[in-house]
């Protein structure tokens, strides 16, 4: 018991004194996962909306692929991103393996299908007549898509949160393509894994608390969105 | 002087859905400033017709002119859509404030802020919802939401307005007050309107013309009193509130009147028919009079029958009396009369109606239905034409 109690005490000390290492790790985590999420938003929302509105043969297959992608195992993503970025891999010339850039790439691959799947569901959940109403208001196709995305903004925000939540807590891919290099590519999850294996529970707990706090904030927003009612 | 072309002209419009023909309109003309109601049962094609006319549904075939100009997918579709407005049964408001909702059509048109503000204000006021301007559309009542939806449509100052059962999901008092306001606004702004409803009373109130639709076709179109009093066939008759529809055969002819046998009884009506011809009689319940003994000696009604009351159904302000005179007959009486005459089920009374109160539908030779002269069906096919679509 002492171990846990002491660990928690030390953890709070590290947090409140703004320990430079913990702070650096946290900021890098936010930066890497934030950028990856941003990329996934552009790709995910545009393709998700397109698939939701378009009708084409094989649409069901595409939708099921996107939904499968929502549960992509991070280690598998890590494996393939590593292969692609390997010195003589197809993207080896970029020379970004074991850099934060590689981590952003891997996390974007993980987050994109999540955002895409949620966008798809959100746009499809809007009443079909809403599209007719928007067109009847004189909208061009582009204006219609924009208004629909605005109407679905809350579920889309949920998508953002889910995407961000997915990548900030992910460890497999980050360790594989980032290498957990101190002060360079070490993020909350990879640091927690390492410190735990070394028996430095105080730092591990501090990092764990930060992760939990982030998870809590994300869920707070999600719950708020879920509880809202639709306009008439 | 050249007369301007009608606002909307439809020729040979056909719509197919899932391989099934859901709409077939040989011809329809809508004059500027008029209000046309489409009535008919659900699934009769009212919504499909509105959405096709608003270019929201692709027509399989047919042509369609707005102010004499052809509307088609390749030409003028967006411009056309920007001259119309549509309101659905559900308000379909956006998840934002009432102001932004009412402004949305104007914003789509890229109008400048001050003009938008002016128009939104004016229309909120017209519909009596100025106080809701900054409220979220999520937090207003159903009636208020429908007012906002109508304000949004009229803010555009549409040249033609399509209303698809806009009152159907409102409670009666809300519907009543909204209908009153809408009628006033439509007349003030002289907005050409096509209004779908399954409630004939709404249609009677608002429109200059009524079209009865069923199975994707317009069965009859004409001024409200014509459609109500001279329905073209039994289906229309039953839909416009004729309770008694009787089939019979002409047995004798007089001067301008004739007698038909209906279930063995002889009923006199007015009209030029041939002996032996099958006819259908439509009698509106409000034209049937009931009397209890002692009977008046003289009456101008040519048709007087002893009738047994089979059923009394309360309908709010009045009662519906089902009678058996050898043929079924329905009468309406007020609560006051019901009490005065102390009518009861099983009682025998005297039922009378005038020969002139019967609308006669001739079943043989293609007797001119009231509508066949009004819409000349354009039947010459063969001309391939672009259809309007999304």
- pLDDT for the residue numbered B221: 95
**CA-wise closest residue to B332 among B383, B284, B371, B295:** B284
- pLDDT for the residue numbered A231: 58
**CA-wise closest residue to B93 among B118, B119, B129:** B129
B80 lies within 8 A of chain A by CB: no
Question: Averaged in consecutive runs of 10 residues, what is the pLDDT profile of chain A (232 residues)?
Answer: 80 86 91 95 95 92 94 94 93 92 96 95 93 95 94 88 91 94 93 92 88 85 73 56
Per-residue pLDDT tens digits for B270-300: 988 889 899 999 999 989 999 888 777 777 7
> b vs e for B10-43, b when ≥16 Cβ sit within 10 Å of the residue's Cβ?
bbbbbbeeeeeebbbbbbbbbeeebbbbbbbeee
- pLDDT for the residue numbered B377: 32
- Sign of torsion, CA A29 A31 A36 A38? positive
Nearest CA in chain A to B155: A137
Q: Are residues B207 and B250 both part of a single domain?
A: no
User: What is d(CA A37, CA A105) in angstroms, rounded to the nearest whole number?
Assistant: 10
Q: Are residues B254 and B304 both part of a single domain?
A: yes
| Full pLDDT tens readout for chain B, 390 residues | 567 888 999 999 999 988 888 999 999 999 999 999 999 988 889 999 999 999 998 888 888 899 988 887 777 789 999 999 999 999 999 999 999 999 999 999 999 999 999 999 999 999 999 999 999 998 999 999 999 999 999 999 999 999 999 999 899 999 999 999 999 999 999 999 999 998 888 898 889 999 999 999 999 999 999 998 889 888 999 888 888 999 999 999 888 899 999 998 999 999 888 898 999 999 999 899 998 887 777 777 889 999 999 999 998 888 999 999 999 999 999 988 888 888 999 999 999 999 999 999 988 654 444 433 333 333 333 333 333 333
Provide the CATH number for the domain around residue B88.
3.40.50.300
CA distance B108 to chain A (A): 6
Q: SS in 3 state form for B253-320? A: ECCCEEEEEECCEEEEEECCCCCCCEEEEEECHHHCEEECCCCCCCCCCCEEEEEEEEEEEEECCEEE
- pLDDT for the residue numbered A41: 94
User: What is d(CA B134, CA B140) in angstroms, rounded to the nearest whole number?
Assistant: 11
Q: Are residues B151 and B66 both part of a single domain?
A: yes
Q: Is residue B69 exposed (0-12), middle (13-18) or buried (19+ Cβ within 10 Å)?
A: exposed
Q: Are residues B148 and B65 both part of a single domain?
A: yes
The reported pTM is 0.82
- pLDDT for the residue numbered B390: 35
- Which residues of chain B neighbour A136 with C-beta distances below 8 Å? 54, 56, 81, 84-86, 162
3-class DSSP state for residue A171? coil
CA distance B116 to chain A (A): 14
Identify the domain boundary among B234, B260, B277: B234
Record the tokens describing residue B54, joined without a space.
Answer: 């608003």
B251 found inside a domain:
yes
The total number of structural domains that make up chain B = 2
B378 found inside a domain:
no
- CA trace torsion B187, B191, B196, B200 (10° rounding): 20
Query: Tell me, which fold does domain A2-226 have in CATH?
Result: MetI-like fold (1.10.3720)
Identify the domain boundary among B176, B208, B234: B234
B374 found inside a domain:
no
Q: Are residues B242 and B152 both part of a single domain?
A: no
Judge whether B254 and B342 are in contact, CB under 8 Å: no
Start-end of H helices in chain A: 2-16, 20-53, 59-69, 74-85, 100-125, 128-136, 141-151, 153-168, 172-178, 188-198, 201-226
B131 found inside a domain:
yes
Identify the domain boundary among B215, B234, B253: B234
Q: Are residues B225 and B110 both part of a single domain?
A: yes
Judge whether A32 and A164 are in contact, CB under 8 Å: no
Q: What domain range is B131 assigned to?
A: 8-234
Q: Are residues B98 and B219 both part of a single domain?
A: yes
ipTM above 0.90, yes or no: no
Judge whether B389 and B42 are in contact, CB under 8 Å: no
Q: Are residues B156 and B287 both part of a single domain?
A: no
CA distance A232 to chain B (A): 6
User: What is d(CA A102, CA B39) in angstroms, rounded to the nearest whole number?
Assistant: 64
B385 found inside a domain:
no
**CA-wise closest residue to A163 among A49, A77, A38:** A38
Q: Where are the domains of chain A?
A: 2-226
Angle between helices B98-108 and B142-155 (to 10 degrees): 30
Do the Cβ atoms of B56 and A230 come within 8 Å? no
B78 found inside a domain:
yes
Chain B (164-223) residues lying within 8 Å, Cβ to Cβ, of chain A:
none
Q: Are residues B82 and B174 both part of a single domain?
A: yes
Q: Are residues B174 and B66 both part of a single domain?
A: yes
Residues 6+ apart with CB under 8 A from B389: B55, B57, B58, B59, B73, B77
B178 found inside a domain:
yes
B99 found inside a domain:
yes
Provide the CATH number for the domain around residue B323.
2.40.50.100
What's the full length of chain A, in residues?
A: 232
Nearest CA in chain B to A132: B56
Q: Are residues B108 and B15 both part of a single domain?
A: yes
B195 bridge partner residues: B37, B163
User: What is d(CA B30, CA A106) in angstroms, rounded to the nearest whole number?
Assistant: 61
Do the Cβ atoms of A232 and B145 come within 8 Å? yes
């Amino acid at each position: 018991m002492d171990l846990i109690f002491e660990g928690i005490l030390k953890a709070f000390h590290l947090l409140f004194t703004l320990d430079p290492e913990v702070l650096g790790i946290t900021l890098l985590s936010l930066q890497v996962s934030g950028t990856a999420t941003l990329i996934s938003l552009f790709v995910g929302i545009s393709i998700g909306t397109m698939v939701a509105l378009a009708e084409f043969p094989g649409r069901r297959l595409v939708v099921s692929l996107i939904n499968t992608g929502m549960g992509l195992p991070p280690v598998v993503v890590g494996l393939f991103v590593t292969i692609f970025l390997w010195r003589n891999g197809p993207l080896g010339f970029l020379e970004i393996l074991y850099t934060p850039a590689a981590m952003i790439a891997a996390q974007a691959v993980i987050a994109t299908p999540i955002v895409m799947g949620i966008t798809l569901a959100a746009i499809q959940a809007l009443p079909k007549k809403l599209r007719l109403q928007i067109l009847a208001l004189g909208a061009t196709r582009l204006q219609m898509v924009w208004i629909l995305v605005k109407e679905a903004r809350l579920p889309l925000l949920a998508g953002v949160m889910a995407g961000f939540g997915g990548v900030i807590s992910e460890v497999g891919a980050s360790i594989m393509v980032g290498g957990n290099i101190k002060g360079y590519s070490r993020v909350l999850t990879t640091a927690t894994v390492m410190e735990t294996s070394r028996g430095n529970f105080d730092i591990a707990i501090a990092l764990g608390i930060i992760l939990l706090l982030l998870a809590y904030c994300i869920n707070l927003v999600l719950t708020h969105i879920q509880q809202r009612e639709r306009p008439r | 002087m050249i007369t301007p072309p009608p606002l909307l002209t439809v020729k040979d419009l056909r719509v197919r859905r899932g391989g099934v023909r859901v709409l077939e309109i040989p011809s329809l003309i809508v004059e500027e400033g008029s209000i046309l109601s489409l009535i008919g049962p659900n699934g009769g094609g009212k919504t499909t017709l509105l959405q096709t006319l608003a270019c929201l549904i692709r027509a399989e075939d047919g042509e369609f002119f707005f102010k004499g100009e052809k509307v088609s997918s390749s030409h003028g579709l967006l411009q056309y859509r920007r001259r119309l407005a549509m309101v659905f049964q559900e308000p379909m408001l956006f998840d934002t404030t009432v102001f932004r909702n009412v402004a949305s059509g104007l914003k789509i048109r890229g109008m400048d802020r001050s003009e938008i503000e002016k128009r939104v204000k004016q229309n909120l006021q017209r519909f009596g919802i100025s106080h809701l301007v900054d409220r979220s559309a999520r937090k207003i009542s159903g009636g208020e939401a429908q007012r906002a939806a109508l304000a949004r449509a009229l803010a555009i100052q549409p040249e033609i307005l399509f209303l698809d059962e806009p009152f159907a999901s409102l409670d009666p008092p809300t519907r009543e007050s909204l209908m009153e306001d809408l009628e006033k606004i439509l007349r003030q702004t002289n907005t050409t309107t096509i209004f779908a409803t399954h409630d004939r009373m709404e249609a009677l109130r608002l429109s200059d013309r009524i079209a009865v639709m069923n199975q994707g076709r317009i069965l009859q179109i004409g001024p409200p009193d014509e459609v109500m009093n001279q329905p073209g066939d039994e289906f229309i008759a039953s839909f416009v509130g004729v309770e008694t529809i009787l089939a019979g055969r002409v047995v004798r002819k007089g001067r301008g009147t004739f007698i038909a046998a209906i279930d063995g009884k002889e009923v006199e009506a007015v009209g030029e028919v041939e002996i032996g011809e099958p006819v259908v009689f439509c009698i509106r319940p409000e034209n049937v009079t009931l009397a209890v003994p002692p009977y008046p000696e003289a009456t101008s009604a040519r048709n007087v029958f002893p009738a047994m009351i089979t059923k009394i159904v309360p309908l709010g302000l009045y009662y519906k009396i089902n009678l058996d005179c050898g043929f079924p007959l329905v009468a309406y009486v007020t609560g006051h009369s019901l009490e005065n005459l102390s009518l009861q089920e099983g009682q025998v009374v005297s039922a009378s109606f005038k020969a002139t109160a019967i609308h006669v539908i001739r079943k043989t030779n293609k007797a001119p239905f009231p509508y066949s002269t009004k819409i000349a069906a354009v039947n010459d096919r063969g001309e391939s034409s672009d259809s309007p679509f999304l």
